[in-house]
Structure 1
Amino acid sequence: MASTMDTIDPKEKDMNVQEKHIHEKKHHYEPNSDSDADSQIDILRAAGIGIAEDDPTEPILTLRMWVLGILFCIVICGLNTLYTLRTPSLTITGSVVLLLAYPLGRLWEKIVPDWTVPLGDLSFELNPGPFNTKEHTLIYVMSNLSIYVRLGADVLTEQQMFYGYKAGWGFQILITFSTFLIGFCLAGLFRAIVVVPKELIWPGVLSVTALTTTLHHVSQEQVQSRLVPTPNGCADSFEGSQVSYVGSPLLIPSWAILNVTVSLVFWIWIVAVACYYTNVWNTGYLPFQSSKVFDNTGDIYKVKTIVNAASGYKLDVKKYLAYSPVYMPVTYALNMFGLSFATLSALLVWVILEKRHVMADAFRRVPKLVVESLPRRSRAHSEDDRGDPDVPLWWYLVCCVLALFMAMFAVEWWDVDLRWYGVLLACVVALVFYPPLALVYATANLKINIDIFCRIVAGFVFEGKVLANIWFFDIGYITTIKGLYFAQDMKLAYYCHIPQRKLFLVQFVGMIVGTLSSLGVLNWALNHISGICTSAAVNGFTCPYSSTHFNTSLIWGAVGPRRYFSNQIGYSALLYFFIIGAVLPIPVHLLSRRYPNSLWKKIHIPLFIGGLNYLPPATGMNYGSWAVVGLTFGWLIRKRLHGWWSKYNFVLSSAMDSSVGIAGVVIFLTIYFTGASEHFSWWGTEVYKNTCDWKGCPNLSLPKGGKFGE
């Protein structure tokens, strides 16, 4: 990244490049490394990933940051909420905000007058000077909340459009903001375990540091020299939005991609195919993959036959027995249930075997953190490693109390079947699973689902109550996902030298703004888009994620785990996956200790079992193209062209995310939203509709009676 090399003798320059290349190969970026914590940060800085030295004179909480941050938070939260209702779904990532905020920040720097608004202690400057990295990062953090709000929007959509229960604005605001706060508190309470340790890299933030460094600290000549031609994309399966459907592959270590790829080959291409063509669980009468569930005629299950407003949103047992059991496609049953069961037990065993010392050390520090966070303690006793006042633990505890009150009031006042003790039980589940989930995400940049565990617990405690099931899932699982993103942003603040108290304020304001923006767009969409959440929806607004959640809540909420595992279909065999998940980490752990330099050290059982958590609605094509691109850059290019990889990989990831997001907005607003797409018809827009993947063709024809499984 230094420009001095351009002024020295060419021979000396080549020698320096070679020496640097050798140095980088010795100390390359490897999130799974056990090297010293401080040297990890030095390695990242040397690799050009943008972890620069601190400039304590830079202003942070400026008017410019607040205006641009709130503006982008409103727009991006709204658009991402809208896109989560659409097929194919598209996420506008924070990289888009990083790219668009930069020229706006520089424009503010150039044209806004340098005036001071005199308000005593609250005085501020309209133009605080050059647009800096810390302002830019906080704008990104505030808009990054858009990923969190869309998760809650899916559950609200499920309740209103699939179950027909409209709770109103009051419930929506309280439940959305409370789940925000619970996730926020999880990150804050466990930050000593998942944020502060410098050996936890959090690869997902590296594209942010790389792009901000490129924009703020690289000269125009260097930027032009960096814009070298990149490999061209191939056929539809390597289209940007499809490749990054499960996350940017350029940010995920190659060892993690390999674990997921082997999982795809073994569980989906071998096990699932074998089960399908041998008609295990009557799956041969259904599509190979779908996010829908079916009845015994092969049609999509008519849920309102057994659960509706007349039954109080509870299972009508007589109608259920007269209608049909719930049947699942093979990939749905195997991945969303069997592998999810195995993931739960594998995750807990893996933490005990691999991370018990880390957890024990962190918990031993808890009493000291509690004492230092008491309000009576002076600021000098509660500083972070840069001398800035740290966030007291009691701030997060106050947020916890507020969140619990709002959540319990919401579920009791609006009568969604989840009682106050259900909220507390869901929070206990989140507390237990959050640390191991965060440790995996901090090293592999991949999320693992525990949603099925939440569904099963709610299915036993609130049997037959679908609304209780979906909100137990929301509070027990979605809050942990929100907590992962909050912790990731806390790590980003450490990298960018942003005081944690200032980050706390920005995240809190962003939660309020993001909640209101998301709910405003959601209510507009559900009331104004024709045919929304149905197959007849305009512009693909079929609500794919809410549909998947709906099917799951139908099984565990309405039918319930007791009936589900005791019927004649044979789904009880999936319970053996709990044993499989608990056993697999043990031999891998022993072999990796016995042979520390072998491939056993790279096997990550929680990822091997739980890495396919986007499938369905993601497909093998999504995971296959993701793996090819990820391994090409993370293994082949990194190995053969390490200097190129260290300079361009993370910036390229951010650039790809930005281009996909911006292009998606432009295409949607100009072609789909205007109705122009209705006039586009050619071979490429129609050919896929003639495939069995699109039509959902089953392998077997129905028996003579028109029903199977009898």
Structure 2
Amino acid sequence: MADEKSPEYDEKVIQHSSKSDESDRAETESQIEVLRAAGIGLGENDPTEPVLTLRMWMIGIVFCLVVSGLNTLYTLRTPSITISASVVLLLAYPLGKLWEKVIPDWSVPLGSWSFSLNPGPFNTKEHVLIYIMSNLSVYVRLGADVLTEQQMFYGYRAGWGFQILITLATFLIGFCLAGLFRSIVVVPKDLIWPGVLSVTALTTTLHNVGQDQVQSSFNTWKISRFAFFAIAGTASFCWYWFPDFIFPALSTFSFPCWIAPKNKVVNQLFGMTSGMGLLPITFDLFDNAGKTYSAKKIVNSATGYKLDVQKYLNYSPVYMPIVYGLNMMGLSFATLSALLVWSFLEHRHFMADAARRIVQLLKGSLPGRTSTVQNDETGAKEVPVWWYLIVCAVALFLAIFSVEYWDVELRWYGVLLAIVVALVFYPPLAIVYATSNLKINIDIFCRIVAGFVFPGKVLANIWFFDIGYITTIKGLYFAQDMKLAYYCHIPQRQLFLVQCVGMVMGTLSSVGVLNWSLDNISGVCTSAASNGFSCPYSTTHFNTSLIWGAIGPRRFFSNHIGYSALLYFFIIGAILPIPVYYLSRRYPNSMWKKVHIPLFLGGLNYLPPATGMNYGSWAVIGLTFGWIVRKRAFAWWSKYNFVLSSALDSSVGVAGVLIFLTVFFTGASKHFSWWGTKVYKDTCDYKSCAYLAIPEGGKFGV
């Protein structure tokens, strides 16, 4: 664990809830057990270990370029696939060990400075930095979807200059959010960021860190963590071929629907594609004849993608499935207001202290002042706050220059407003993500704000969404990587440099592959696209921007359908945390202390497309391993739980890539067909049959 030399580890900052009662002490001890089980703290920090080695730079940059490009390419395709950073973590290990064994230990002089081609054993710090650099590739695709939407659906080719600058700007804004709020969302010890625990478990397992300590500490199976990882990973790799290719019906194992494929009630009750509970669900928007809403009837290139009001009135307002409307707007509104109120009630003093600390660190780190920059958790110099402020200035310049010079309708004040939205929501979003690994969506909120400020301007809507929402998601990932570096004793200044290089490399790779794909793939972003490159995510963004950008929130909420009632969810969400807060203070040992209103509401934001199957399997697995196994077989859980998680993640990732490239991409899957590949497709669940028929007049509504 880290030492506490830096003032950022002050008790006022770290422990923003009282630890005086027994329940809080038990919670702290439980967190320590979780971290130790994930391999954190098993190895001592060695400050003499090389970090920024040629080996790390070469392997990291190659993976960053390749995986960023492939993930950008795959985001255009359906079915899509993501090469996760856990796959890179697994593949980088043998390459690093091969370099260690093969490359000679030669010193290369560069004037007064020199470096070694092979500085010794491939260590965990190098390995984790390779992972962090390639991890940028997972979320570079978020910006690629918006660029594709603008070029292929709105017909505006802004060119390479705009694409590179705006992509880099959104990266830098997210990077600034994580850096400026580091003392709030990274440093506190009780924010453990569970999303990184499988990474630390796999890293320590591969490098055999603390294995003797683990073996002697727990009286359980004698098999080593590495051997357990190999067996579990191999079994998972083999099994994944069945639900993904050989027997895909297993992935939607709704056998009641197979028995009664035409029964609408059965399919809506038990279906796992469009059915959930007692409510009918579908994923499209509809018109008043029950058909998919045709956006081209009201907005097209001939009108400059501005709304044709008369055609809109003659055609139809937008109708949404009830669950989609309640969730994507009602629950989203309630979640946002609940998040802000909860943050004020629970963390107002902590955030105020941290804000004052940021100002103090900034003043002390300015040139010409007596330096108050302390050492970080590794004993190395901390990153001064003014470094991040310089990055913020560069990001702001790039964003404003991009939208003004290339005239994408989002003016300079729109950029500033979007950044304000990101600044307001980032701290509470990060705190929730750091404790639960759950991202709460603010995308619809950004769309609606842009719709009010820039009515009828679809390009302004998509870039406000990009700068206001996607930057916060990138900021969450940057902060998560900062926490990972903190756990792995990586100096923060070295991490800063690696993340900056990764942003540049990932941007260049993504933009290059995107332009090649859009110019060379036949029929790209259409239903006739070769190999399924129909741009599904950009299509979804396109439909959303048409609603909030072209039709706009004023028309949407003022029609006769009654969607304006969903705005009351803002009030409901703001009220709910208040009684819970006071009840938890009045009865600190009761269940109220464990009730988290924003987390509860935000967890439902994945309905749809998530179904009862997703939530049910999550609950079963979570309760089994997080409660039953941990309680009844704690030694086994401590030794193998996170190793099992990393084995499943990495093996499924490798299997998914292999199956996609060898079976689906080559077209070999077209020649494989049997009952298990078709049975789930012949049901009302798969075809999204509606329970109620269209009225005799052919339309519903007034």
User: What TM-score, normalized to structure 2?
Assistant: 0.86
Q: SS in structure 2 opposite 1:178?
A: helix
- Equivalent AA in structure 2 for residue 178 of structure 1: A
Query: Structure 1 residue 314 and structure 2 residue 309: aligned?
Result: no
> Given the two structures, how large is their TM-score scaled by the length of structure 1?
0.85
**Greater CA drift, 142-151 or 41-50:** 41-50
Question: What is the aligned partner in structure 1 of residue 158 from structure 2?
Answer: 167
> Which residue of the partner structure matches residue 678 of structure 1?
670
CA distance in 1, matches of 2:108, 2:68: 30
Tell me the distance in 1 between the aligned counterparts of 2:389 and 2:639: 42
Instruction: Determine the structure 1 residue equivalent to 2:535.
Output: 543
- Hey, what's the Cα distance between the residues in 1 that align with 2:521 and 2:81? 18
| Structure 1 residues 75 and 191: CA distance shift in structure 2, 3 A | same
1:702 aligns with 2:694: yes
Q: Return 384-393 or 529-538, whichever deviates more.
A: 529-538
Alpha-carbon distance between aligned partners in 1 of 2:677 and 2:452, rounded to the nearest angstrom: 46
Q: CA deviation at 1:164?
A: 3.0
Q: CA RMSD in A?
A: 2.9
Q: Which residues in structure 2 correspond to 1:30-45 (within 5 Å)? A: 34-35=24-25, 43-44=33-34
Q: Quick check: 1:149–1:515 contact (8 Å CA) kept in 2?
A: yes
Which residue does the alignment assign to 1:589?
581
Q: 1:41, CA displacement in angstroms?
A: 7.8
Distance in 2 between residues matched to 1:33 and 1:365, nearest whole Å: 29
The 8 Å contact of residues 55 and 117 in structure 2, kept in 1 or not, is answered as: yes
The match for 2:477 is: 485
Please name the residue that 1:177 is paired with.
168
Q: CA deviation at 1:113?
A: 0.8
Q: Which residue among 201, 207, 225 is the counterpart of 1:210?
A: 201
8 Å Cα contact 1:82/1:522 also seen in 2: yes
Counterpart residue type for residue 40 of structure 2: G
Question: Offset at 1:453?
Answer: 1.4
Do the aligned partners of 1:291 and 1:547 also contact (CA within 8 Å) in 2?
no
- Please say if residues 68 and 101 of structure 1, whose CA atoms lie closer than 8 Å, have aligned partners that are also in contact: yes
Deviations 1:51-92 (A, max 9, x none): 332011100000000000011111221222233333444332
> Is 1:554 matched with 2:535?
no
In the alignment, is the contact (CA less than 8 A) between 2:225 and 2:640 conserved in 1?
no
Q: Structure 1 residue 147: deviation in Å?
A: 2.0
Describe the shift of the 1:608–1:68 C-alpha distance in structure 2 as closer, same or farther (beyond 3 A). same
| Whole-Å separation in 2 of the counterparts to 1:88 and 1:514 | 23
Structure 1 gaps, min length 5:
1-31, 242-264, 277-287
SS of match in other structure, 2:57 = helix
| Structure-1 residue corresponding to 2:37 | 47
Correspondence list, 1:299-378, <5 A: 299-377=291-369
Cα separation, partners in 2 of 1:228 and 1:216, compared to 1, 3 Å:
closer
**1:438 aligned onto 2:440:** no
Q: Does structure 1 retain, via aligned residues, the 8 Å contact 2:164–2:508?
A: yes
* Matches of 1:559 and 1:530, distance apart in 2: 32
Deviation at 1:239, TM superposition (A): 5.8
Measured after TM superposition, the shift of residue 40 of structure 1 is: 7.8
Aligned residues of 1:237 and 1:622 also touching (Cα < 8 A): no
Does the Cα contact within 8 Å between 2:335 and 2:601 map onto a contact in 1?
yes
C-alpha separation in 2, matches of 1:569 and 1:57: 67
Change (3 A) 1:703 1:39: closer
Distance 1:373-1:355 versus aligned 2 partners, 3 A rule: same
What is the count of residue pairs matched by the alignment? 641
The answer to whether 1:494 aligns with 2:468 is no
Q: Equivalences for 1:159-308 in 2 at 5 Å?
A: 159-218=150-209, 222-223=224-225, 226-227=228-229, 288-308=280-300
8 A Cα contact 1:95 1:655, kept in partner: no
2:452 counterpart residue number:
460
Once the two structures are TM-superposed, the CA of residue 530 in structure 1 deviates from its matched residue by 4.3
Give 1:60's aligned amino acid: V
Question: Residue type of the partner of 1:666?
Answer: L
Distance verdict in 2 for CA 1:638–1:535, change over 3 Å: farther
Q: Distance in 1 between the 2:25 and 2:524 partners?
A: 52
Query: What's the counterpart of residue 91 of structure 2?
Result: 100
User: Partner of 1:73 in structure 2?
Assistant: 64
Gaps of 5+ in 2: 1-21, 213-222, 246-268
Shift of 1:33: 7.9
How far does residue 549 in structure 1 lie from its aligned partner after superposition?
A: 2.3
Identity %: 73
Inter-partner Cα distance in structure 2 for 1:346 and 1:193: 20
Aligned to 2:255: none
Bigger shift: residues 98-107 or 635-644: 635-644
2:573 corresponds to 1:569: no
Task: Give the match for residue 383 of structure 1.
Answer: 375
The Cα shift of 1:327 comes to: 1.4
Residue range with higher mean Cα deviation, 605-614 or 427-436: 605-614
Q: Secondary structure at the match of 1:165?
A: coil
Q: 1:157 to 1:330 in 2, by over 3 A?
A: farther
Conservation of the 8 A alpha-carbon contact between 2:38 and 2:642: no
Q: Which residue is 1:110 aligned to?
A: 101
User: What pairs up with 1:388-399 in 2 under 5 angstroms?
Assistant: 388-399=380-391
- 2:159 is the alignment partner of 1:157: no
1:56 aligned residue:
47
Which of 399, 403, 408 is equivalent to 2:400?
A: 408
1:522 to partner: Cα distance: 2.3
Deviates more, 1:393-402 or 1:60-69: 393-402
1:35, distance to aligned residue in structure 2 (A): 4.4
Comparing 161-170 with 35-44, greater Cα deviation is found at 35-44
Measured after TM superposition, the shift of residue 539 of structure 1 is 4.4
CA shift in 2, pair 1:36/1:503, >3 Å: farther
8 Å CA contact retained: 1:382, 1:392: no
The corresponding residue for 1:127 is 118
Cα displacement (A) at 1:536: 4.6
Distance 2:580 2:362 in 1: 37
Distance 1:35 1:525 in 2: 55
- TM-aligned CA deviation for residue 273 of structure 1: 6.2
Is the deviation greater in 440-449 or in 218-227?
218-227
Task: Give, in whole Å, the separation in 2 of the partners of 1:272 and 1:663.
Answer: 29
Return the offset for 1:494: 1.0
Q: What is the rounded CA distance, in whole Å, between the counterparts of 2:325 and 2:162 in structure 1?
A: 33
- CA distance 1:199–1:240, shift in 2 (3 Å): farther
